Structure 1
Amino acid sequence: MPDESRAPQRFNAARYCLAENARLRPDKPALVLAGPETASVLTFAEADRAVRGIAAGLEALGLPPGARVMIRMGNEADYVLAYFGALAAGLVALPSSPQLTAEEAGFLLRDADASVVVHGNGIAIEGADAQGRILLGPEAIAAMKTGPAREDYADTAAEDPATLVYTSGTTSHPKGVLHAHRAVHARRPMHAHWLGLTEADVMLHAGTMNWTYTLGVGIADPWAVGATSVVYEGPRDPGIWPALIARHRATLFAAVPSVFRQLLKYAGADASDLSSLRHGVTAGEALSAELLEAWTRATGKPLYEALGMSEVSTYVSSGPTIPVRPGSPGRPQPGRRVAILPVDGPPEPLPPDEVGLLAVHRSEPGLMLGYWNRPDEEAAVMRGDWFAGGDLARLDAEGYLWFEGRNDDLMNAMGYRVSPVEVEAALAAHPDVAEVGVAELAVRADVSVIGGFVVLKPGAVADEAALIAWCRDRLAAYKCPRAIRFLGALPRTANGKVQRKRLAAASAR
């Protein structure tokens, strides 16, 4: 790997993002929290001081190095400050979504054995899950931000754990992906080869704070080069994005493809003032050739796609140095070791245009430290010296990547990986459901949603709305099925296993 992506041995991710900025450009806006009409601004000096204050406050709690700090808040500046404050103190930040139900949040808390929960108003941890934990609400964080501050950031090693993010796996519960401080430094190749990011940029990100796409591309990457981050905190109105681009003179706009699609459909992107925008960047879902063509035709602006995952971050992309090829997310960024391995057999890279498992070499500085307390699952994704996450793909003779599906049943919902097992467990608990399978369901040529395929108990009435509402009470919104199809029987193998890849076809008969 090139030196640009490998961190020095002693390295703290929070210091890397803030300390030099506070010294060189203290009064420059670091984070703009934009509402529909107004915005609040945090300078680099203010962010640096607040983060070191939170770090000192957390340190005063007597926590051991590496203790987990769960963050359960909405889209607010304190989410970012608490996240970097945990890193600055040598602790492990556990970002979580405010959409999680109490049961889902409780699982994360117990599985990670988090010592501290930083929570926003109305998003507390209650009951048995709160016992023995330190709960820090908005008032406690406000006091830390202005209280005594650490003089410097924790002297952590690049290999020390920094972030624990949860992602769906092949079981009914998500699994924790543990990343080291070095993972933030390992993002450097994407600055030139995907984002085209410089100190002069203003990055507007459409995601929520808890998502690694937002924390990485929306916050850490701009801060790493001294650029300004803009994050939206208001109602999710597709029409807001062109207005925010114009108001904040955003030069880069990051979102999932579905946001770009909504922007074109509802916000009149072709008639909006996008003069400040240099290009858009997208990840999380596959960018269809049709959407790419519609965006460039309507706006005249490039749209660069990237491929990443919770375990590795972003390592394949198009961008200023990698020409766009419609239908492909691009090529491995310079320095990344990417290969296609046989699904079965020795982990020897396949030649161009052969389909196999997409893999990243274990030398990749952005690769996770491992799965939290899941050694069996960790062993399952390592093929010799390669990490293979389950995507089937091929690399053509020019190095461009082409997807060929998944080797497992994981689904993609608005950029989040979702396990069908988790959704099936929620639906199966409904008193009217006899059998259930869950899989992606295509509703348009380039749009898929999570679909529930249900066999009802005798005498039960088919009520799609009731089943979806049942799931909403038990699952985060992005995990909930958007459609229910009722079947007489589920397609199964000779051994009785549900064939999830045949569910959509079975419902169409």
Structure 2
Amino acid sequence: MGTSPLVMQSVFDHGPPPPCPSPFNMAAYVLSYAPSLGNKPALEVVGGDASVLTYDALCRRVQRVAGGLRAQGLNIGDRVLFRLGNTPDFPIAYLACIWAGLVPIPASSQLTKREATDIARQTQPALILHQDGVSLPDSAAPVLGELPEAAEIPPVMGDPDRLAYIVFTSGTSGRPTGVRHAHRAIWARRMMWDGWYGLRQDDRVMHAGAFNWTYTLGTGLMDPWSMGATALIPSAGVPSDALAGLVAKHNASIFAAAPGVYRQMLKFAVPTMPALRHGLSAGESLPDAVRIAWQETTGTDIHEALGMSECSTLVSGSPTRPARKGTSGRPQVGRRIAVVQDGAPVPVDTPGLLAIHRDDPGLMLGTLDADLVTEGAWFVTADTVSMGADGDITYLGRSDDMMNAGGYRVSPLEVEAAFAGYAAMTGCAAVTVEVKADTEVIALFYSADGPLQDEALRAHAQALLARYKQPRLYIHRATLPKGTNGKLNRRLLRYAFEDPHD
């Protein structure tokens, strides 16, 4: 008896989502509820330097900054590099650029001068927005020390497929890769509202991250504002042990964080959080032990999402359909997902590479250097997964050696490049290792005639790498293992460290 190929193959296709409206402007869409919500809080900064920004005030500020940016003589399509700190100015500048037809580059404030200079050289910004305490690149672009304001201007409308913003992600080449996204990317995030968040307009969504982290920017700010909900962001410097108290005090109904934040919070007494419906997690795999401990402590679930800078999240559990044990959930409704090998879908329950349909509205336009590359109908990622017959996705790891540090993807080649030619070091390999149950850190294994001073190695890393990229362990080896092709065998280093008696 024959079986349908759709059942046999690892393909999830319930049809495309509704098309993005045209003409379209991402920032205007995010703030579309502002006229009707007026004095409703759009943003509350909680703990420390608390403040409230209403929808009306947020929209007007964005329009004034948009006018101020255009008054600098910038043209539509010009790029603006962010060297901004953890303040509300970050999302305001982001929306203002897009409103004005400019292209923001929201780079992390943790980047060193060298790293920021590399991004500036790749993108050639027409303007740099800067705040004290954040590194500045060597660049000929003019620098503004505060957000400019002028008369409000209307949003620049146009083709939803045109470039809206550029984000940087650690690539496999050893240097951060610029990813170009279209205005339509925000429209695609609607699939997360039911597929991951369970988002409602009366929600108060608290994100534990900083304003200048892309996870916070999307999940903590853009999505709640697109729905007309209230976003809560902790003030800079709020420690992990204070977060649960802020969730309770400010009646957060949804809490979002990286897995490591949940782990830290559970080390302290967690108060009752009566308004909390559930938590959200992304950025790295959420250990089952953390998920279970959170549920037992708070009585609420954590719903995890799997995604990437090239397409944001696309597989997740949700309040209406929690992920089955051991899986990452299902493709969000409207997503067309396959598990492929050599460009063709594999049978169900067979490992392969996660692939996204080339017509997904959230999929990137391409990198800085190249347009989107697909294999037939599919954009193939480096994530190895399997798909069950009902669409459940099980994450099996990456096909490359990418590391994950506190929710940030980090290329081992980028860390290793920072130590090229260092002192008596003859070689090095950056690897994430498990130092205790459910806790991983970046370790730098290096070869040399003898052990080198950890303190000097740390100082070297601090000068060249953002904090989240810096190794936490430095481990001397007489030689580093290599495969028959001469390439470093990073996995063998990890296995030998974690199970030295194996």
> TM-score range with shorter-chain normalisation?
over 0.9
Looking at structure 2, the residues matched to 506 and 22 of structure 1 have their Cα atoms a distance apart, in angstroms, of 56
Question: 2:42 — aligned with what?
Answer: 30
Looking at structure 1, the residues matched to 237 and 418 of structure 2 have their Cα atoms a distance apart, in angstroms, of 28
Looking at structure 2, the residues matched to 257 and 444 of structure 1 have their Cα atoms a distance apart, in angstroms, of 15
Looking at structure 2, the residues matched to 189 and 179 of structure 1 have their Cα atoms a distance apart, in angstroms, of 17
Letter in 1 for 2:415: V
Q: After the TM superposition, which of the residue ranges 41-50 and 427-436 deviates more from structure 2?
A: 427-436
Question: 1:352 — aligned with what?
Answer: 348
1:134 aligns with 2:142: yes
Looking at structure 1, the residues matched to 478 and 135 of structure 2 have their Cα atoms a distance apart, in angstroms, of 42
Q: In structure 2, which of residues 77, 84, 104 is the aligned counterpart of residue 93 of structure 1?
A: 104
1:68 aligns with 2:71: no
CA displacement at 1:423 relative to structure 2: 0.3
Looking at structure 2, the residues matched to 87 and 494 of structure 1 have their Cα atoms a distance apart, in angstroms, of 49
Contact 2:272–2:298 (CA under 8 A) maintained in structure 1: no
Looking at structure 2, the residues matched to 252 and 2 of structure 1 have their Cα atoms a distance apart, in angstroms, of 29
Contact 1:288–1:326 (CA under 8 A) maintained in structure 2: no
CA displacement at 1:5 relative to structure 2: 5.1
Contact 2:47–2:238 (CA under 8 A) maintained in structure 1: no
Contact 1:5–1:365 (CA under 8 A) maintained in structure 2: no
Question: 2:311 — aligned with what?
Answer: 312
Question: 2:358 — aligned with what?
Answer: 362
Residues 257-295 of structure 1: CA distance to partner in whole angstroms, max 9, x if unpaired? 1111111113x12xx031111110111111122211111
Question: 2:403 — aligned with what?
Answer: 411
Which protein has greater RCO, CA pairs closer than 8 Å, 6+ apart? Answer: 2
Q: After the TM superposition, which of the residue ranges 275-284 and 114-123 deviates more from structure 2?
A: 114-123
Contact 1:5–1:188 (CA under 8 A) maintained in structure 2: no
Question: 2:224 — aligned with what?
Answer: 222
Q: In structure 2, which of residues 493, 496, 500 is the aligned counterpart of residue 503 of structure 1?
A: 493
CA displacement at 1:7 relative to structure 2: 1.2
Letter in 2 for 1:340: V
1:192 aligns with 2:191: no
Question: 1:249 — aligned with what?
Answer: 251
Letter in 1 for 2:338: A
SS in 1 for 2:75: coil
Question: 2:239 — aligned with what?
Answer: 237
Looking at structure 2, the residues matched to 233 and 473 of structure 1 have their Cα atoms a distance apart, in angstroms, of 27
Contact 1:2–1:335 (CA under 8 A) maintained in structure 2: yes
Looking at structure 1, the residues matched to 418 and 359 of structure 2 have their Cα atoms a distance apart, in angstroms, of 39
Contact 1:358–1:393 (CA under 8 A) maintained in structure 2: yes
Structure with the higher helix share, 1 or 2:
1
1:148 aligns with 2:138: no
1:423 aligns with 2:415: yes
CA displacement at 1:453 relative to structure 2: 0.6
Looking at structure 1, the residues matched to 361 and 298 of structure 2 have their Cα atoms a distance apart, in angstroms, of 36
CA displacement at 1:3 relative to structure 2: 7.0
SS in 2 for 1:265: coil
Looking at structure 1, the residues matched to 451 and 135 of structure 2 have their Cα atoms a distance apart, in angstroms, of 37
CA displacement at 1:238 relative to structure 2: 1.1
Contact 1:438–1:450 (CA under 8 A) maintained in structure 2: yes
Q: After the TM superposition, which of the residue ranges 65-74 and 2-11 deviates more from structure 2?
A: 2-11
Question: 2:460 — aligned with what?
Answer: 470
| CA pair 42-4 structure 1, distance change in 2 beyond 3 A | farther
Runs of 4+ in 1 over 4 A off after TM superposition: 1-5
Letter in 2 for 1:449: V
1:149-228 mapped onto 2 (5 Å cutoff): 149-150=152-153, 152-228=154-230
Contact 2:280–2:304 (CA under 8 A) maintained in structure 1: yes
1:267-346 mapped onto 2 (5 Å cutoff): 268-269=269-270, 272-342=271-341, 345=342
CA displacement at 1:4 relative to structure 2: 5.2
SS in 1 for 2:218: helix
Letter in 2 for 1:86: C
SS in 1 for 2:315: strand
CA displacement at 1:479 relative to structure 2: 0.7
Letter in 2 for 1:90: G
CA displacement at 1:447 relative to structure 2: 2.3
Looking at structure 2, the residues matched to 86 and 7 of structure 1 have their Cα atoms a distance apart, in angstroms, of 20
Looking at structure 1, the residues matched to 17 and 491 of structure 2 have their Cα atoms a distance apart, in angstroms, of 42
Looking at structure 1, the residues matched to 324 and 486 of structure 2 have their Cα atoms a distance apart, in angstroms, of 42
1:116 aligns with 2:127: yes
Looking at structure 1, the residues matched to 496 and 428 of structure 2 have their Cα atoms a distance apart, in angstroms, of 13
Q: In structure 2, which of residues 8, 19, 31 is the aligned counterpart of residue 6 of structure 1?
A: 19
Looking at structure 2, the residues matched to 5 and 306 of structure 1 have their Cα atoms a distance apart, in angstroms, of 22
Residues 486-508 of structure 1: CA distance to partner in whole angstroms, max 9, x if unpaired? 11111111232111111123443
Q: In structure 2, which of residues 53, 65, 78 is the aligned counterpart of residue 42 of structure 1?
A: 53
Question: 1:17 — aligned with what?
Answer: 30
Structure-1-length-normalised TM-score? 0.92
SS in 2 for 1:428: coil
Looking at structure 2, the residues matched to 325 and 185 of structure 1 have their Cα atoms a distance apart, in angstroms, of 28
Contact 1:280–1:304 (CA under 8 A) maintained in structure 2: yes
Looking at structure 2, the residues matched to 447 and 360 of structure 1 have their Cα atoms a distance apart, in angstroms, of 30
Looking at structure 2, the residues matched to 480 and 384 of structure 1 have their Cα atoms a distance apart, in angstroms, of 39
Structure 2 unaligned runs (5+)? 1-13
Structure 1 unaligned runs (5+)? none
Looking at structure 2, the residues matched to 23 and 3 of structure 1 have their Cα atoms a distance apart, in angstroms, of 30
Looking at structure 1, the residues matched to 484 and 302 of structure 2 have their Cα atoms a distance apart, in angstroms, of 46
Residues 21-54 of structure 1: CA distance to partner in whole angstroms, max 9, x if unpaired? 2210110111112233x41111111111111111
Looking at structure 1, the residues matched to 170 and 185 of structure 2 have their Cα atoms a distance apart, in angstroms, of 20
Q: Count matched residues.
A: 486
Contact 2:104–2:166 (CA under 8 A) maintained in structure 1: yes
CA displacement at 1:236 relative to structure 2: 4.6
Contact 1:222–1:229 (CA under 8 A) maintained in structure 2: yes
Question: 1:390 — aligned with what?
Answer: 382
| CA pair 70-166 structure 1, distance change in 2 beyond 3 A | same
Contact 1:74–1:120 (CA under 8 A) maintained in structure 2: yes
Looking at structure 2, the residues matched to 455 and 3 of structure 1 have their Cα atoms a distance apart, in angstroms, of 52
